[in-house]
Structure 1
Amino acid sequence: MTDTATGAVFRETTAEPRTQALPLAHVSLELGHLSMDDFEAGPQRLREHLARVRPWADTARTIAAAGSLKPRVSTCFLVDEYCTSAATPAALLPILLAEAERAGLVIDYLARESGCAVADGVPVAEGVQARLVESPPPGSDGSRPPVGQTGWLANGRPTPRTPTTAAMADTADWQPPAETTAQRHSIFLDAELWDERDGQRIWSCPFLAAVWQLARLGLLRHLGEPVLQPMQWTLGEDFPNDWKALPPVIRLNPSAAPFSAYRTCSVLPSRLLPVEHAVRVVLDQVDVEPHALTQVRERAFHEGLPVPEEISGRISYVFHEGP
């Protein structure tokens, strides 16, 4: 309702969706982000991966304990079945859990990457894409179309297009790309966030991994409600034969610390380093829901925990050699 005399706008309190707060662990520790190729390589591939993960997972727990008398650390595992899902949950997940137990690891939460695209009918990836705010680098002339049109996001200014010249004219001088926040030398990255296939948008692995990080940091909301939150899975219950029949995130350990956390740490094979570089580029240009940010900041203050303002500053990695 508008007061025509003053121009003031009045809204019912219920018209503004309330942003629901989430319980938070200190650290969300990712024990793996594996594709169908990794699973189809057999139990030995999983065994090798988890054996490499175990000492780093122990170290991450030790570091978390150094900052708190009662550290809350939850573990998670992401299965990439978004583009290829030939093998079923019923065939793969019991093997994964058995190999984790063999390695002395407990997977508290298990997620499927397709849930980072759409979860319980909510277009999660589309919602994050709508909140992208590109940082225009110094000297940009506005000739590059926005990310919403191209599906590409950069961390700076690409090499300018060379103008068409007459055959006998001098060739225009080449100019290098430039990273927006370069310290001395630039590391320029231009990341593809999606493409189109048969009229359907297919999200890239880096973009879905960025959505995954936001979920683990407790910063995803849809109409004020949290999304990509875990559902309890009954221990001993058979896994379904269809990935879509499995909730986007399941809680396997009833006594686990909360799924979302102030910080995340991911133990990953080194081949994923380029993907995670792109993840940080995305996170640096997402306008995160402000009420969710405020809730995390206030809770961290009351717990006496320092939390970086930058979202990308809240994530860390351990990269190990391996397949």
Structure 2
Amino acid sequence: MTDAVFRETAAEPRNRSVPLAHLSLELGHLYMEDFEAGPERLRRHFAEVRPWAEAARAAATARSGGKRARISTCFLIDDYFTRFSTPAEVVPMLLAEAERAGLSVDYLARESGCAVTGKVPVAEAVAGRIVESPPPGSHGLRPPAAQTGWLANGERSPVARAPQAMKRAVPWQPPHETAARRHSVFLDVELWSDDTEGHRTWSCPFLAAVWQLARLGLLRNDGEPVLVPQPHTTTGFPDQWDELPTLLKLNDRADPFAAYRTCSVLPTRFLPVEHAVRVILDQTEVAPGALEQVAERSGRERTPVPDSVADRVSYVFYPGH
């Protein structure tokens, strides 16, 4: 006989579902220096992106059995680490250069929205869902990520200690990747840093991990979706970044923002960051209700989705300038 388990309904908020495309295709994630370099830098970027974007579209169509694949495009602007220029100046230039290359940006996002959206502390909530994978043979000597702000994909080298009386010094040992194949590729990721006043600055890899979760439709706050697209209803763009919605829908006919899978076309300088993103995603407990909704819908559509959230994310890296 099994004991019945009773829970208050209020303790388990209902997860509201979100529309899902087959693929969320990121056409860029650039920083202040890229925009300061002017239209020519953006022109070269989109020229590099276009053939790979077309290849990603073809691959998504093949996965859907030749049927029309729902594909939305997005672009992320860094307004978190540095505020520069204005949306009124930057966004029209960005959209014009994308159009010149034959590309269309359906959704525009601000990176600061991956830290806080409205009154929702998005990054803090995701950090609270990190569940570290203890390396085999570890003995709890390493402080938890919630305390240190560092997350590794394995066992760090032990801290050297002076030998005690009658005891030998512990010899140096190399770090070890938990899921290593023959040889380790060990990575230790800084999730955030705190200044002297206790203000937390989230790292680029951590915000990029939040961004991937948003694009996969897996972010919830009390059961409600986070980073919900807002329609672009004006003819221009504001003079202040805070006046621009954190996620703006630019194309009325666009397929849904969130998708079963993501693909990002990025310069090679982002490769270390995105390696760190996978380490973070592999150790983040996603809201079970959101995962179940995606699994149920993908099964109904006969669209296989990897069990691992990190494996739903793909990239194309092109040589940077």
What range is the shorter-chain TM-score in? over 0.9
**Residue identity matched to 1:25:** A
**Residue identity matched to 2:85:** A
**Residue identity matched to 1:243:** W
Please give the TM-score of this superposition, normalised by the length of structure 1.
0.94
Aligned to 2:298: 300
Deviates more, 1:159-168 or 1:193-202: 159-168
Query: In structure 2, which of residues 62, 70, 73 is the aligned counterpart of residue 75 of structure 1?
Result: 73
Aligned to 1:221: 220
Query: In structure 2, which of residues 268, 290, 293 is the aligned counterpart of residue 270 of structure 1?
Result: 268
d(CA) in 2 for partners of 1:261, 1:117 = 21
**Residue identity matched to 1:18:** R
Aligned to 2:29: 33
**1:9 Cα deviation after fit:** 6.8
Aligned to 1:127: 125
Structure 1, residues 35-59: CA drift from partner, whole Å, max 9, x if none?
1111111111111101000000011
Aligned to 2:210: 211
Please give the TM-score of this superposition, normalised by the length of structure 2.
0.95
Aligned to 2:85: 87
- Aligned pair 1:44/2:40, yes or no? yes
Residues 83-162 of structure 1 aligned to structure 2 (within 5 Å): 83-162=81-160
Residues 171-186 of structure 1 aligned to structure 2 (within 5 Å): 171-186=169-184
CA RMSD of aligned residues (A): 1.7
**1:184 Cα deviation after fit:** 1.1
Aligned to 2:201: 202
The 1:167/1:15 distance shift into structure 2, 3 A limit, reads closer
**1:171 Cα deviation after fit:** 4.9
**1:168 Cα deviation after fit:** 11
Structure 1, residues 137-164: CA drift from partner, whole Å, max 9, x if none?
0111111111111000000000011221
**Residue identity matched to 1:184:** R
**Residue identity matched to 2:28:** G
d(CA) in 2 for partners of 1:25, 1:75 = 10
Question: Which runs of 5 or more residues in structure 1 are unaligned?
Answer: 1-6
d(CA) in 2 for partners of 1:38, 1:110 = 16
Aligned to 1:22: 18
**1:199 Cα deviation after fit:** 2.0
d(CA) in 1 for partners of 2:10, 2:193 = 38
Structure 1, residues 170-193: CA drift from partner, whole Å, max 9, x if none?
653211100011111110000000
Aligned to 2:310: 312
Aligned to 1:4: none
Question: Which runs of 5 or more residues in structure 2 are unaligned?
Answer: none
Aligned to 1:291: 289
d(CA) in 1 for partners of 2:114, 2:10 = 29
**1:67 Cα deviation after fit:** 2.2
The 1:202/1:140 distance shift into structure 2, 3 A limit, reads same
Structure 1, residues 54-82: CA drift from partner, whole Å, max 9, x if none?
00001101111112201000000000110
Query: How many residue pairs align between the two structures?
Result: 316
Query: In structure 2, which of residues 58, 61, 64 is the aligned counterpart of residue 62 of structure 1?
Result: 58
| Secondary structure in structure 1 of the residue aligned to 2:213 | helix
Structure 1, residues 90-129: CA drift from partner, whole Å, max 9, x if none?
1111100000010100000000000000001100000000
- Aligned pair 1:259/2:262, yes or no? no
**Residue identity matched to 2:105:** I
d(CA) in 2 for partners of 1:11, 1:57 = 47
Structure 1, residues 9-50: CA drift from partner, whole Å, max 9, x if none?
755535531100111000000000001111111111111101
Deviates more, 1:281-290 or 1:58-67: 58-67
Structure 1, residues 230-277: CA drift from partner, whole Å, max 9, x if none?
10112x621111111111100000000000000000000000000000
The 1:9/1:149 distance shift into structure 2, 3 A limit, reads same
| Secondary structure in structure 1 of the residue aligned to 2:238 | coil
**Residue identity matched to 2:32:** M
d(CA) in 2 for partners of 1:12, 1:180 = 38
| Secondary structure in structure 2 of the residue aligned to 1:319 | strand
Contact 2:161-2:169 within 8 A present in 1 as well: no
The 1:221/1:165 distance shift into structure 2, 3 A limit, reads same
d(CA) in 2 for partners of 1:10, 1:213 = 35
Contact 2:123-2:207 within 8 A present in 1 as well: yes
